[in-house]
Structure 1
Amino acid sequence: MNFTTAVQTCLKKYVDFSGRASRSEYWYFALAYFIVMIVTGMISEMLSSILALGVLLPSLAVATRRLHDIGKSGWWQLIALTGIGIFLLLYWYVQPSSPESNEYGAAAGAPPDAAALPPGAV
């Protein structure tokens, strides 16, 4: 997934807390968020605050989908409230995607489930 596709996907799925997000999708979105916050912070602190509030849901959603990708519940984000939990989340966010399907969906790029295909489809 490239930079623009990742950002577009995250903004389109801004309240979609189900499914999975690849490592590249998460980190490209985080990079875009960081760059935009730096630029808007230089322009206006008020604009930066409004933008941060506006991107709160997409950020939480992509982080939840990223945790789903490694087989963890999105509720694990609450561990960041402890302070030290941020480091655990960072460790999980850099982990490679789980190659097999899990309770949150199929792995990205995985072939579709044969049982879900109509008869005669390959």
Structure 2
Amino acid sequence: MHWYVDVLKKYAVFSGRARRKEYWMFVLFNVIVSIVLSIIDNVAGTSPVISSIYSIAVLLPALGVTIRRLHDTDRSGWWVLIALIPLVGSIILLVFLASEGKPGVNAHGPNPKQPAAAY
């Protein structure tokens, strides 16, 4: 759960790097919360009001962690726009997000896997 909260604490931080674990744990928790809220919406008969509010609330943190994840693979955050290409773009972005980060320091900061004392 702390992976999710850590991303929310960095609400609109688009600089730095994010580990794969940080990104995918955020995605997992986000999907679980979205499903639960959709079920609550259906049971309450409120259309997708609650789940829509949640989706809007986590839009910036999700974008921030995605850009930081791309930075970890030594790519610009602008690569997130490749998802706008139907089908192929989403697959390419998924591969980028699932690939291992570059070891050591890159243009976007130190490796988040290594302890800070190693620098």
TM-score (norm 2): 0.88
Please state if 1:15 is matched with 2:5: no
Which of 80, 90, 102 aligns to 2:106? It is 102
Segments of 5+ residues of structure 1 without an aligned counterpart are 114-122
Which of 60, 65, 71 aligns to 2:63? It is 60
> Residue 80 of structure 1 aligns to a residue in which SS?
helix
> What is the distance in 2 between the residues matched to 1:54 and 1:90?
23
Aligned residue in 1 for 2:80: 77
Amino acid at match of 1:37: S
> What is the distance in 1 between the residues matched to 2:16 and 2:6?
12
> Residue 105 of structure 1 aligns to a residue in which SS?
coil
Greater shift in the superposed pair: 104-113 or 48-57? 104-113
Aligned residue in 2 for 1:38: 35
Amino acid at match of 2:106: N
Aligned residue in 1 for 2:54: 51
Please state if 1:88 is matched with 2:92: yes
Give the aligned CA root-mean-square deviation in angstroms: 1.0
Question: Percent identity, aligned pairs only?
Answer: 44
Aligned residue in 2 for 1:24: 21
Task: Tell me by how many angstroms 1:112 deviates.
Answer: 4.0
| Aligned positions, number | 110
Segments of 5+ residues of structure 2 without an aligned counterpart are 42-47
